[in-house]
């Protein structure tokens, strides 16, 4: 949904928190875990199972390549530099 511009990361996170009762949304969680860690996990799952659903998202690969790894670098799906 984010890559197709149907919703923003904030909108998706809010929907998952309010609609599903999760303590944090998927993009918040990715920023906490680390985009590089998430990408490595997705690559391993895809290599092992060759299921299209496990293939890493192009946006995730782009962010990691750009050095945006989440909170640990100050930027991921959100900018944490001012926080």
Domain boundaries, the chain: 9-73
- Give the C-alpha separation, 47 to 4, whole Å: 25
The CATH topology of domain 9-73 is: 1.10.1040
Query: What's the whole-number average pLDDT of the chain?
Result: 96
The pTM score is 0.90
40-62 residue pLDDT tens: 999 999 999 999 999 999 999 99
Which letter does DSSP use for residue 7 in this model?
S
Q: Are 27 and 9 in contact (CB under 8 A)?
A: yes
């Amino acid at each position: 949904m984010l890559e197709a511009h149907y919703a923003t990361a904030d909108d998706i996170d809010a929907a998952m928190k309010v609609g599903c009762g999760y303590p944090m949304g998927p993009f918040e969680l990715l920023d906490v875990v680390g985009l590089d860690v998430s990408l490595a996990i997705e690559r391993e799952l895809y290599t092992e199972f060759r299921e299209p659903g496990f293939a890493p998202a192009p946006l995730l690969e782009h962010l990691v390549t750009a050095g945006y790894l989440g909170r640990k670098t100050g930027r991921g799906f959100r900018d944490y530099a001012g926080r």
